[in-house]
Structure 1
């Protein structure tokens, strides 16, 4: 199975590195391309044997599965360019949430799927969100799921929960990195601990917490119960959370959905205008 990746920005590079280092794809079976050629060439130096395409059309012609790792408003021009090479046996995979598989099916002659990866996939961990188009064959679904299983836990989702699922799995690492960094900064400001040591302790904590959940030793509720001893320090701290957290995450989700709606409307206008 030959894989193509068009676009080597943050997420495209994560997919390339994860596929290479997990041995999910042999270097000779992967072809990549980027608008800035030196970025793609640098990845070839890092992963000898992979192919750098000379054009998007060459990548499309080479590949059985083609990951489109470009910005949402760049999709229409890209698909227009590679459409002559998208035979019925090929599968294009979008990694962006504002574009639905239905929209891509309207303008593509081949099968379509969407995979929303996460930065955690770089460590062969976390979820990848899967949505299949109607033309996807059982074999194509099986091959795509097998590929993503090498670097993630594939979870099939409905279009209606795309944004909130992305908030939890794909954007979540940014949210909680921000919160953890704020926690570290406050510890340094309020006590004598160094930033280096506070960062080490917090990092080890979050890694250990992840392992407890991964091994199903505790769930989130039972983990809370184990740490929060009645009348103890943790309980007093959680009272502060109850008092001050308020509707923070409600507002976060509302804002991400507002932005998602804006992006979807921009994409809809473009697809309608172009096609």
Structure 2
């Protein structure tokens, strides 16, 4: 089975690296292309057996599964333009949330799936979000589910919660990284600790926290209860956080959902043009 990736930007590259590292796809079965070809060539320098093609046409023609990892507005243009190449026996996979699978099914004859990966998949961890098209063949459902089980926890998700699920799974690592960086900067500003030490301590704290949850020693609520002794220092810090956070996360979700709605509107207009 040949797997194609169109677009080797951040997520396209992470997807490729995860699939190879997890043993989901052999490099010799992978073919890639990118608008800026040197980006694709650099990946071949690392994974010598992959094939770099000069155009999406060659990738689509020679692949059984085609991951489209370009910008959302470009997906519609590319899919419309290359529609005759997406024959019935192939499977088209989009990795962007604003594009609904039924839109793709109206453009091509192939099976269509949306899979939203996460940067955590690079560590063979985290969740990947699945939405199958109504006409997607069972063979492709099973194949992709097995493939992504090697790099993540695959989860089929309803369209009504696709954005918030993406916020948690895909955007979440960036949000947590921002909060952690703010935590480190405050520690450096308010105490005598240096940035390198604070960063090392914070990174290893996050790794340890992840292991506690992974090994199911605690849930998030029970973990907080264990650390936050009544009348203790942690409790004082939690009290400040409760007082200061306000509607931070509510506003975050409002902002991401608004951006999502705006993108989906413009994409839908392009889809119908």
Q: TM-score range by the shorter chain?
A: over 0.9
Identify the residue that residue 37 of structure 2 maps to in structure 1: 37
Q: Residues of 2 paired with 1:77 and 1:255: CA distance?
A: 27
**Residue deviations 1:37-68 (CA, integer Å, cap 9, x gap):** 11101100100101111221111111111100
Superposition deviation, residue 154 in structure 1: 0.5
Contact 2:84-2:108 within 8 A present in 1 as well: no
Task: Say yes or no: does 1:173 pair with 2:144.
Answer: no
RMSD, matched Cα: 0.8
- 2:205 maps to what in 1? 205
Alpha-carbon distance in structure 2 between the residues aligned to 1:81 and 1:106 = 13
Maintained 8 Å contact 1:64/1:90: yes
**How many angstroms does 1:77 deviate by?**
2.1
Match of 2:70 in 1: 70
What does 1:1-275 align with in structure 2 at a 5 Å threshold?
A: 1-273=1-273
Unaligned runs of 5+ in 2: none
Conserved 8 A contact 2:76-2:267? no
SS in 1 for 2:82: helix
Q: Which moved more, 1:21-30 or 1:209-218?
A: 21-30
Matched-pair contact (CA < 8 Å) for 1:124–1:152 = yes
Per the TM alignment, residue 18 of structure 1 is displaced from its structure 2 partner at its CA by: 1.1
Aligned length: 273
- Tell me the distance in 2 between the aligned counterparts of 1:132 and 1:190: 50
SS in 1 for 2:8: coil
Cα distance in structure 1, aligned partners of 2:135 and 2:56 = 23
Deviation at 1:9, TM superposition (A): 0.4
TM-score of the superposed pair, with normalisation by structure 2: 0.98
Conserved 8 A contact 2:113-2:133 = yes
Separation (CA, whole Å) in 2 of partners of 1:42 and 1:28? 16
CA distance in 1, matches of 2:27, 2:81: 25
Structure 2: distance between partners of 1:55 and 1:34: 8
- The secondary structure found in structure 1 opposite 2:4 is strand
Which 5+ residue runs of structure 1 have no aligned equivalent? none
Q: Deviations over 1:205-235 (max 9, x none)?
A: 0000001111111110111111100110001
Q: Distance in 2 between matches of 1:259 and 1:57?
A: 31
Q: CA deviation at 1:184?
A: 0.3
In 2, distance between residues paired with 1:237 and 1:55?
A: 55
